Structure formats: structure tokens, C-alpha cells
Structure 1
């Protein structure tokens, strides 16, 4: 490493990695991002995200992109409806005018927004990391599937659940949470599936029974609703059930039997989707996860604290991780550049552990409670109170940042 230009590589071009790169560039720090995808939009990036005022939106503000995000976001997507498995409405929430505590945006649009605001050439697409190893000089070597290698003074693992960077700092691996789901979609929903459009409304619809089954629908952009048909099961559930996951009708027959006690209206949400079902499952890292600092490497996002999606904290924390790490790197100082960088990353990790640990635990517990096989009702959170909490925590976060900045100035 030279005195002024550490070689920084981010592995993973999702929201966490791209946010980190954008904020680093805002500080005038060079960075290269490596991602396995062929391009920014070469695959289905998944459904919609709600970006919270106390985390994801702070990261976007740090990246200078909050206004651009708000121009693309859907505040009306914060609406929520809870129904039982007969379709009876149990609870509803409609955001009021000016409520921007947690507006929605499609994952693909968020990724494109971040990518488009990086310097050309920052992201090297088509680079699937195979191995990361420590070099004799104290840095790390990244080996990619196409045979290319690079060395870096700081490797930032933003490569998700099955991170190839994580083994450098921890032997932790994701565990299955006992819940699987089938990802389905409804296209041109308002014209082709008006009954689905009516049930899901402008935002989200949640429904579950007391046998560990649930249906979650989310309004996305461009007239799409994505549905998640979820149930308690082992990852290989289809083997014992005799279901061919490549055969749509085989899956539908199975779901019709499994959800046979649901009303006809609610069963329509399960078997009238467009296209194929995509099998997925809920995974999480041990929580809270910490590790002893390893010089020259760190983790952000799901690579550091993969958690259940209940509460929507994963992507929000991931982006805040990326921004906070970039700020920490920018403040690295001292007569020895390597030592200063290492101390900055160590401080970031300490703060990140404190920020993510309890949320990971509570998110995982919330998922298990939602899919519990019990007659005790799982009461939904109060969205209005959640939104007030997001705003209050956002203000507290900004005040704490200002206090720390004043301390650094005084010292």
C-alpha cells in the first residue's frame, strides 16, 4: 500500500457494495467492485424494499442520492393489510400525506440508481469470486472463476449469504430457519388479475393460519405483484411430497391440497400466478454474530448479519453498513497508513455489531412467531408506531453523528 492510495476492493454489487463504493468515491477514495452478474440487470433482482428513515435513507443521503430515490420511490407502497386465511381483514394501514418513513422501491431500480451514479468502470461485471486468501505481504488475493486475480489492502465482503469473503474472519455459515417459500408473480395485475389487485392494494398483504402456512403479496412497480407462498418445511420438502419443482402443475396440485382449508378467494392467490414458481427458503447467520478483527478485510450487509426479512432491516442495515464503513475509511489517519486503515475498520466493526445484533435476533424470532403452529394469534406490529420510531431514531442517529464529529474536531 502506498501512503495515499490503499487498494480497496468490494466483492458484491448489490445495494450494500454499491452504496459503499458511492460514498467512498464521494470522499475521493478509489475503489473497485467485483460482481458475479454479467451486468447490472442481467437477472431478476427480487421484489420490493422499504427503505427506512433511520438507516437506508441515511445511507442514500450520505451517497447524495436521497432526492433521486424519493423521485423513484412509492410512498403509497407503505400500505399494509393483514387478513386471516378466509380473507377477513384483521388490520389495515394507509400512510398519510407526506409519510416517507419507509417508502418502497423495487430492488432492480435501487441497484440501477446506485450503479448509474458510480464512476464508469467502477464495477467489474462477470467476476465470480472463487477464493480469497491472505498474502505474505499482509494484503489479500482474490481469485475469480475466469482465472483472473487481484490483490487488495482492504477487501470488503458484500457478497451476501454465501459469502466467499466471510471465511477470512469467521467460520459461521447460514442455517435454515425451518421455513420455505415459493416465489410467484402476477403481471399486469390491475387488468389481468383484478381480484389480486384488490386484495393487495397499494402495498402489502399478509395472511397466515395456525398451521405454519402463509401468503404474502407485495405490490411492485410496473403493474407487478409478487407473491410468496410460505410454509414450515425442510429444504428438501418436495422430495417427500413427491413434487416436481420444474412442473408448475405438480406444484399447484400440492399447494391446493396443503392450503385446502383456506377460502377460495385466498387460494386464488396461490394458484393463479403467471409463470413458474421459484423455490426459496429463509436462512440466517447465528445472531448476534461477531468476530475478532482480521487486518485487511471486513464484511457488510448479509455477509455480516444475514437475517430473516421480517421487519425489513436487512437491506437497510446493509446500505448503512456500506456508508458507515466508507466514512470510517475516509477518516483513517496516522503516520502508518496501514495501521490507520486497520483501526478505522475495527471501529466500524464494533459499531456495526452493536447496530445489527439485536435487530438480527428480533427479525429471526419474528419469522418463527409468524409461522408458529399455535392457536395464539400473532399480532401484527403497529405501522403508525413503527413509522414514528423510524423518524425518531433517524433524528437520534443524526444527533449522535454530529456529536462524534464535534469530538473529532476538538481532538
Structure 2
């Protein structure tokens, strides 16, 4: 038996002939890279040295310059009445309205009447008390005159008695000297004169004290009557105020009650709008409100016209992050304005002529305004800056930039915080 070995013919495969084009392609690629390096080597080095590359079309670029900086606040305002008083019920009772909402009214015109029986009864009672006090005062004055007359009469009698005793003493003395009477008679006459003098002094003192007492009594009654008259006058004022009158020339605004309603004291009745003194109220962000001051100039625009204005008041209260500010017209109030009409308002906060600054953009808020990208030689370099005053259009540059620098004011988020980025054309 013959033993044979199998060959490898079944495992072998013919190899394809090696292509000669591949070395040629590699050589061509190397040649192109060499040419590119020779022609644009600087650009390639830029791309390799930058952290990232951003197209210039996606960026907003502005130039730093020295120009006026105007800081202002602009917004929409609405026309409001500088005076819009709300009238209240002066007393409890039934209210009868004499006007309707929107009616024109004049100062002093009766707008409503309040029927208050309680107040009317009090007035009648106090008037009666005043009449009684007036009668008591008259009676006290009559009694004072009568007692004053009696005191004067007693004083006159005492004075006459003194004069009589003095005359009697003179006669007894003359008779004693002539020897016609005893000394005892002279001494009795002296005692009678002393008693008369004492009686006269007492009558004089009593008249003075009693007169003062009568005066005080009359003054007390006069004071009581005066107090009562004040009370009556106050009640008469309250009754007169039951006829509610307009405090200004204007227009009835809003009615808070229905006609013939029974209301309590100090209940709201209606409001009156003074159309002769209109102001424009605007809402200002809290960040600007701290800079607003009464007297600042402003500008009001509407109805195709423009008027000069002036800040009249700033509310001390912050509501939803805003503060209400009011502007009055600097000149004559324009006509054809209506309550709650919308107008455009602008308030000038500050104006400086020569300020190093740049157009305001999103870079002011990015990173807290602590850096900016400056375009130099095709690169955008991250530079630390310090910003100052800001307006709607410009922002002041305090440090970090110079006049003529080109700053990326929008789209810098494309750099993703890179320190250096290529700005591609």
C-alpha cells in the first residue's frame, strides 16, 4: 500500500496584483499639504493656536469711542388725575344721589344728600339746651345787677351813718367845750363814729367780694353757653355736610353705592376726577427707582405730539419689583386727554458729554459684566473690564478697554468661555 501526502493546492489563493496608484495618491496629498503650508501657513497656525473658531457673521461687534452718554428710563404710562378725591358719607342715613357717573360737575355743586334723622334730632336737642343756658345767663345777669344795687345801697347807708356819727361827735365836742354837756356824751359820740366807720369798711369789702362773686358766676354761665354754642355749630356743620358737594371742578368718576341706599358713617359714596390737573403715571423697575427724584426732566409722547414733563412724585412702595412714578406736564396741559389713556414716557436720569463707552449688548449681563472679548488681528481675546453707568444704548467703560478697541457685544456665548478664539471671516 502506497502512502501519499495531500498537497496545499486547495488552501492557496492567487493574490491580486499590487496597484501602483496608491503611492501616487499619497504623494499627491503630501504635495497639496506642502503647497497649503507655503500659501496659507499663517492661517493654519492661527487655527492651531486658538481654543475655538467662530464665524464673524454670528457676532455683533462695536467700537469703543468717546461720546455723550445719556441715561434714561423709558416706558408706557397712563393718564391719571392729580386730584381724584373720594367722597364719604358724613353721617349714617339714606343717601339720595343727584348725579350719575360721567356727569360734569362744578366746585360746590351738590352731588348727594344724606337723610340722617339721628343727627337732626341731636341738633334740635342741643339747640334747646343752648336756649336754656342763654335764659340762665340772662337770669344770672339780672340777679347780679340786683345784688350789686343792694350792696351799693348798703354801702351808701353805712357811709351816711359814718357822716352822721362824725357830725354828732363834732356837736358834742363843741357843747362840751361850751360847758353845755358832759364829757360822757362826747365819748359816746366817739364810740358811735368808730362803729360807723367799721360798718362802712365792712360794707365796702362786702360789696367788692360779692361783686367779684357775681362776675364769676356770670362768666361761668357765659362759658357754658359758649361751649353749647360750639356744640350746636359743630352739629349744624355736620348737618350742612349731609349735602355732599364737589370739592373740585371735574367729572363724576365712580359711584360706589346705589341711589336711596342706607349707609353707615364714613361709607364711600362716589369719586370726582379733576380733569384740569392731569398727570402721567408709569411703572419703573426697582433698579432705576432709587435714582428717580422729583423734579427730573422727562418727555411724554402720544397722539402724534410730544410734551415736556417733570417728575412730580415717586412712590415709596415697591410692588412686584416696580415703583410707581408720576410726571406732570411742564407747560400748559394739552387738551384731548382722557383718564387712563396710554402714553409713552421717558425720564432723563443723567447726561454726560465725553464718556468712554461702547454700544450696549448682551456682554454687559454675561459674567456680571466683568469681562469682554476684544477682536485683535483675527482673534477674540477675553479681557477683564470694569463697566460704569449704563443707558439703554451705551455703557460706560471704566477700565480694561481703550478708544478704538473692537468689542464683541453680542454672540460671545459662542466662545464658551474660551480665553482666545479665532474669528473667521
What is the TM-score when the length of structure 2 is the normalising length? 0.16
- Structure ranking higher on relative contact order (CA contacts 8 Å, 6+ apart): 2
**Higher Rg:** 2
What is the TM-score when the length of structure 1 is the normalising length? 0.17
